[in-house]
Chain A
Amino acid sequence: MAFGTGGARVRSILVAVAGLVALPATVAQTAVTSKLADLSLEELSNIEVTSVSGRVQSLQDAPASIYVITGEDIRRSSATSLPEALRLAPNLQVGQLNAAQYAISARGFNNAIGNKLLVLIDGRTVYSPLFSGVFWDSNDVMLEDVDRIEVISGPGGTIWGANAVNGVINVITRTAHATQGTLGVVSRSGDRGYEAARFGGSLGEAGHFRIYAQAMDRNNTQRADAFERPDAASKRQIGFRADLGRPGDGLTLQGDLYRGGKEPGINLAPKLRGANLRARWTSRTPDGSPIMLQAYLDRAERDETAVFRNHADTVDFQFSHEPIMQAPHQLLWGAGYRRTRDRNDPSTLLAFIPATRTLAWSNIFAQYQHRITPSVEATLGAKLERNVYTGVEFLPSARLAWTHTPKNMTWTALSRAVRAPARLDREFFLPAQAPYSLAGGASFDSEVANVIEAGHRGFARGASYSITAFHQRYDRLRSSSSTVPRRLENGIEGSISGLESWASWQVSRAWRLGAGYLALHKALRLKPGSSDTSGIASLGNDPRRQWSLRSNIDLGSGGEFDLMLRHVGALPSPSVPRYTAVDARIGWNLKPGVDVSLLAQNLLDRRHVEFNDVAVASQIERRVFLKLAWAL
């Protein structure tokens, strides 16, 4: 198979080049380090550094499987949207469905209506109350202003609540202070592209602000038989952020407004409207303990004639406090309340009954840390979360971390995670009028996962690495009854085990290599009394293996050359062949503030399918973008 040998060839080239470069680079490095000592304090303050990790490092001591995509990683990738940027995380599965829609998951259960991953953009939960998952075509950020994306695979329910069953994605944008000045970005290929502009200014003593606007457009995708799927659409979004006061003691105000899709909308390109407004206040109590209060409003509308006609209005409050404790004890506690009014008018295909429903979630949580010896730390946490369908759910976790040296840590964790029912599980009727073939799931209960994980993170000789093994045991997963009308029930159980690993190696000051590997073993089965033969396949379509390689090279004189190889194993049902995609980027800093780059996606194959039945799925094509970024 052409892709297979292509991948192997590029890999062997990578290894050979690594050998060639490593030697002279180390010699040069010693001389430079020594020269820095002769610079003045001012000169040192003006030296540009290759990696500015800062806060990212503090995640290093969190005993969990965490991968951080930095803003610099995104800039040096061929990503032109948030889902494409998520392909950089080795612990995520990302499959493109059509022009703008994606299936994204961690540790299996990947699906267009995946429901076990919690996604937050600047602390705002973006899942749809319809199915407890994310409509990726509705949620965009200006990529140039992203500070980092923290991807936590494994349960995060104790802090993040129900739905953080298999992972959490935290998209964090840069502060207004860090995005001052004017920036214009244009990125175009033949059939799609985006334009964005941002202006950041000062509010004097009060703080800083930024405003931005962006527009995206995508042409139709094609099936294998060259039939055009009518998923072309465009989207416009504007927003702002103001950071008042000082870091750790101030107020952040933030909001976005978007419109897009088709009119009238169709399933592949629904009409999209949405807005949100968020306020977050952080401070310290008189005794110096950190305190946080956050509130936001969110409206999301998604309209098309055939499937979903959804309007959701959400209000969300959160509070957390970290009281000062006597060493070696630490405590973090908090509470939250969220309320959504969800309206879904019947479409031609299906109905939610009742059409309008108010949902509410409230929670309290506490996490206690105890340093047992200078190098061993235990973390115990629990969250109680109440939802309107199943009442109070208990989400406990226990973690143990052993720090051998400052950057070498072995950890293990036990957690219980829960996916509370969504409207789709309880109030979903097909077709829109009786007689129904599917008539809701009045007794559908929460899905439960008991998870054991162990991992090691280390750093040696310029390379950092992480390896995590996990075993997630599930009970009460979604299935349907065999009698007509069918009803949704909890008839599937089983486990998913696997391995997540990645490494990053700074070969020389100008060259960085990265690699990632993911292995999944699924063992799901019907519970006694259940006979839903298609139930297991509809829970998700996952590869058994996935790996990636990345290379970022500074060519000198402002040139950059970046490569990423991504291999995704075959998907079983429906069957999708494995594929290897190569993305490349050549960047050139023309003069201070002006960058031109050429981004290529799927360089080696003309087209491939990433998800759904190959005969009718969108072919993901080779694309080349020309990108111009201009800062004033």
Chain B
Amino acid sequence: MPRVSAVRSWGLWKCVAAGLATCWIVLAPALAQTAAAARESEVKAAFLYKFGGYVDWPAGTFARPDEPMVIAIAGDDEVARDLEQLVGGRTIAGRPVLARRIREPQALAGAHILFIASTRDARLRELLPPIPAPILVVTEQEGALRLGSSINFSAQDGRIRFSASPAAAEARGLRLSSRLLAVAQNVEGRGR
């Protein structure tokens, strides 16, 4: 008995499935462009680019006024790809911006901003100390500011936020602008 009705209703469900598939084919190309949300990696890439305008590097970091600002990316090819796409033709304070993917810490020479994708705590502890002084270190993991990172991304309510540590930045000879600190969700040392 159940078998028979299963066969009979198959026709109906086939129609429903075909209907849904048709809607899908018609809608899909349009919806790809209308959705408001952005990918996580491109938002992070945009932040990395913007940060450069809100940080003072020590005098003498840049030899020439048009020396490029170099943003190094470790461990996240998606962010790197989006950043490469985003910085093309753009400048920060008149400097062209370069995105550079790095695998080894030694490749940091000449970088001004370094983004380290999330990794294990212990690995981050191992990576942070040898980073040379005037580099703005940006991370994306809990507790990273206390390990010596200057800016840390976090995800909240489907949005990317960041916290900042002026002390960690100062230890690397950098000053974070009050404008940046005003937007930061948490400022280490200021409390909530």
Measured CB to CB, the residues of A under 8 A from B are 2, 6, 9-10, 13, 16-17, 20-21, 24-25, 28, 30, 32-34, 36-37, 39-42, 44-55, 57-58, 61, 178, 205, 224, 226, 247-249, 288, 290, 322, 324-325, 327-328, 330, 369, 371, 374-375, 405-407, 459, 462, 506, 508-511, 553-557, 561, 584, 603-607, 619
B27 CB contacts on chain A under 8 angstroms: 555
Chain A residues whose C-beta falls within 8 Å of the C-beta of B5 in the assembled complex? 606
B130 nearest CB across to chain A (Å): 9
- A371 partner residues in chain B, CB cutoff 8 A: 126
Give complex CA distance A24, B30 in Å.
9
CB neighbours (8 Å) of A607 from chain B are 2, 6
B135-167 to A contact mask, C-beta < 8 Å, 1/0: 000001111001100000011101111100000
Complex Cα spacing A30 to B33, Å: 11
State which of A47, A58, A178, A508 has its C-beta within 8 Å of the C-beta of B160: A47
Besides A10-B21, A20-B29, A49-B43, 5 more A-B contacts (Cβ < 8 Å) are A36-B42, A45-B159, A327-B126, A330-B120, A556-B30
The contact of B10 among A2, A53, A55, A369, by CB within 8 Å, is A2
Interface residues of A, dominant DSSP:
mixed
Interface string of B115-131 (1 = CB under 8 A from A): 00111111101100000
Of all A-B residue pairs in the complex, the 8 with the closest CB atoms, nearest first, are A556-B34, A52-B155, A36-B46, A25-B32, A327-B126, A508-B32, A406-B75, A510-B35
Known: A37-B49, A54-B154. A606 touches B2 (CB 8 A): yes
Q: Is the CB of A406 within 8 A of B74?
A: yes
Most B-side CB within 10 Å, residue of A47, A248, A290: A47
CB distance from A566 to the nearest CB of B (A): 15
With the chains together, A59 CA to B33 CA distance in Å?
Answer: 32
- The distance from the CB of B72 to the nearest CB of chain A, in whole angstroms, is 12
Query: What is the total number of residues of chain B having a CB less than 8 Å from a CB of chain A?
Result: 78
Complex Cα distance, B141 from A24, in Å, reads: 34
**A622 → B minimal CB distance (Å):** 9
Q: A556-B34, A606-B5 are in contact. Are A509 and B121 (CB under 8 A)?
A: no
Which residue numbers of B lie inside 8 Å of A, CB to CB?
Answer: 1-2, 5-7, 9-10, 13-14, 16-17, 20-21, 24-25, 27-40, 42-43, 45-47, 49-50, 54, 74-78, 82, 85-88, 90, 103-104, 117-123, 125-126, 140-143, 146-147, 154-156, 158-162, 179-180, 183, 185, 192
Nearest-CB distance from A162 to chain B (Å)?
26
Name the distance in Å between B167's Cβ and chain A's nearest Cβ: 15
Cβ of A20: which chain B residues have Cβ within 8 Å of it? 25, 28-29
| Measured CA separation A175–B90 after assembly (Å) | 39
Q: Given A21-B29, A21-B32, A34-B85, answer yes or no on A290-B120 (Cβ-Cβ < 8 Å).
A: no
C-alpha gap A192/B2 in the complex (Å)? 21
Cross-chain contact B141 with A55 (CB below 8 angstroms): yes
Provide the residues of chain A in CB contact with B77, threshold 8 Å.
405-407, 459
Q: Which residue in chain B gives the minimum CB-CB distance to A32? A: B38
How many residue pairs at the A-B interface have CB separations less than 8 Å? 211
Are B118's CB and A57's CB within 8 A?
Answer: yes
B34: chain A residues at CB < 8 Å are: 510, 556-557
Q: Assuming A248-B142, A555-B31, is B160 touching A605 (CB within 8 A)?
A: no
Q: Which residues of B contact A50 (CB under 8 A)?
A: 35, 37-40
Q: Shortest CB–CB separation between residue B88 and chain A, in angstroms? A: 8
Closest chain B residue, CB of each to CB of A561: B24
Are B39 and A506 in contact, with the CB atoms below 8 A?
yes
- Give the distance to chain B from A353, nearest Cβ to Cβ, in Å: 44
List the A side residues contacting B33 at CB < 8 Å.
Answer: 24-25, 28
Jot down 26 A-B pairs with beta carbons below 8 A, ordered by A.
Answer: A9-B17, A28-B32, A30-B85, A42-B183, A45-B159, A47-B37, A49-B159, A51-B40, A61-B119, A224-B2, A226-B1, A247-B143, A288-B147, A322-B121, A374-B104, A406-B77, A407-B75, A407-B76, A508-B32, A510-B32, A510-B34, A553-B28, A584-B20, A603-B13, A604-B13, A606-B9
Shortest distance between the CB of A246 and any CB in chain B (Å): 8
In the bound assembly, the distance between CA atoms of A369 and B120 in angstroms comes to 12
Closest residue on chain A to residue B160 by CB atoms: A49
Chain B residues, CB < 8 A from A330? 120, 122-123, 126
Q: What is the CA–CA distance of A21 and B118 in the complex, to the nearest angstrom? A: 31
How many angstroms between the C-alpha atoms of A47 and B30 in the bound complex? 21
Q: How far is the CA of A443 from the CA of B140 in the complex (A)?
A: 52
A327 to chain B, nearest CB (A): 4
Contact of A13 among B21, B119, B140 (CB under 8 A): B21
Cα distance A10–B156 in the bound complex, in angstroms:
36
A13 partner residues in chain B, CB cutoff 8 A: 21, 24
Determine if A21 and B43 form an interchain contact, defined as CB atoms under 8 angstroms apart: no
Assembly CA distance A148 to B161 (angstroms): 20
Question: Which residues of chain B come closer than 8 Å to A205, judged between CB atoms?
Answer: 192
| A52, B155: Cα distance in complex, Å | 6
Question: Closest B-chain residue to A324, C-beta based?
Answer: B125
Tell me whether A49 and B38 are in contact (CB under 8 A).
yes
Q: How far is the CA of A328 from the CA of B146 in the complex (A)?
A: 20
Contacts of B85 in A (CB 8 A): 30, 33-34
Query: How many angstroms between the C-alpha atoms of A220 and B146 in the bound complex?
Result: 55
Closest beta carbon of chain A to B143's beta carbon, Å: 4
Could you tell me the distance between the alpha carbons of A322 and B40 in the complex, rounded to whole angstroms?
31
What are the residues of chain A within 8 A of B74 when measuring CB–CB?
406
Q: Are A48 and B32 in contact (CB under 8 A)?
A: no
Partner of A406, one of B17, B76, B82, B142: B76
Selected from B20, B31, B104, B162, the residue in CB contact (under 8 A) with A510 is: B31
Closest CB in chain B relative to A127 CB, distance in Å: 28
A39 and B40 form a contact (CB under 8 A) = no
In the complex, which of the residues B1, B24, B34, B104 has the most CB atoms of chain A within 10 Å of its own CB atom?
B24
Q: How far is the CB of B69 from chain A (nearest CB, A)?
A: 13
Inter-chain contact A511/B122, CB cutoff 8 Å: no
Residues from chain B with a CB closer than 8 A to the CB of A28 are: 32-33
Residue of A nearest to B25 (CB): A17
Nearest chain-B residue to A406 (Cβ)?
B75
Determine whether the beta carbon of B90 is less than 8 Å from that of A2: no
Which residues of chain A come closer than 8 Å to B1, judged between CB atoms?
226
Q: Give min CB distance, B32 to chain A, whole Å.
A: 4
Q: Which of B28, B123, B158 contacts A21 (CB 8 A)?
A: B28
Q: Check A49 against B158 for contact (C-beta < 8 Å).
A: yes
Interchain CA distance A13-B14 in the complex, whole Å: 13
Contact B86 A553 (CB under 8 A): no
Interface contact A556-B31, CB-CB below 8 Å: yes
Bound complex: CA of A61 vs CA of B127, how far in Å? 15
Q: Please determine whether B47 and A44 come into contact, CB atoms closer than 8 angstroms.
A: yes
Q: A52-B158, A54-B140 are in contact. Are A24 and B29 (CB under 8 A)?
A: yes
- What residue in chain A is nearest B24 (Cβ atoms)? A17
Contacts of A406 in B (CB 8 A): 74-77, 103, 117
List the A side residues contacting B42 at CB < 8 Å. Answer: 32-33, 36
Closest to A27 in B: B33
Beta-carbon contact of A41 and B54 below 8 Å = yes
Minimum distance in angstroms from B15 CB to a CB of chain A? 12
User: A605 → chain B, closest Cβ, in Å?
Assistant: 7
